[in-house]
Structure 1
Amino acid sequence: MIKRSILLLIIILAAVVMIRYMADRSVNIIAVYQNPYTAAVIVESLPWRDRDKIAWWRNNEKRLIQRYSLKTDNPRGALDYFVYAFGEGYQPEGKTDRLCFDEIQSPARCIDKNLRMVVTQNRAGEQMFLIDKYRYQVMRDGELQKQPLIEPGDIR
Structure 2
Amino acid sequence: MKVNKKSYAFFFVCCALSGYFFWLSLRPVEIVAAHHRSSSFSDVIVRNFPFTDKGKIAWWLNNKEMLKEKYNVPNPNPDGSFYLNFWLFGDGYKELSKYDRLCFEDMNTKKNCIEKDIVFTVSYSKNMGTMFEAYDGTYRLQKNGEIVKYVSHSEAW
> TM-score range, shorter-chain basis?
0.7 to 0.9
- Identify which range, 3-12 or 112-121, moves more after superposition: 3-12
State the distance in 1 between where 2:74 and 2:87 align. Answer: 20
Q: Which runs of 5+ in 2 are unaligned?
A: none
**TM-score normalized with structure 2 length:** 0.85
1:133, distance to aligned residue in structure 2 (A): 4.5
State the distance in 1 between where 2:55 and 2:74 align. Answer: 26
Query: Secondary structure, in 3 states, of the residue corresponding to 2:133?
Result: strand
In the comparison of the two structures, how many residue pairs are matched?
154
**TM-score normalized with structure 1 length:** 0.85
Q: 1:112: which partner in 2?
A: 115
Coordinate RMSD, CA, aligned: 2.4
1:149, distance to aligned residue in structure 2 (A): 7.6
Q: 2:62: which partner in 1?
A: 59
Greater fraction of residues in helix: 2
Q: Which runs of 5+ in 1 are unaligned?
A: none
Q: 1:94: which partner in 2?
A: 97
Relative contact order, CA 8 A, sep 6+: which one is greater? 2
Query: Secondary structure, in 3 states, of the residue corresponding to 1:128?
Result: strand
Q: Which of residues 123, 132, 135 is equivalent to 2:135?
A: 132
1:137, distance to aligned residue in structure 2 (A): 1.4
Contact (CA 8 Å) 2:93, 2:113: kept in 1 or not? Answer: yes
The residue identity in structure 2 corresponding to 1:95 is K
Q: For each residue in 1:27-85, what CA deviation from the matched residue of structure 2 results, as whole angstroms up to 9, or x when unmatched?
A: 11110011311110001221112211111111111101100134645233132110011
Residues 47/150 of structure 1: CA separation in 2 closer, same or farther (3 Å cut) = farther
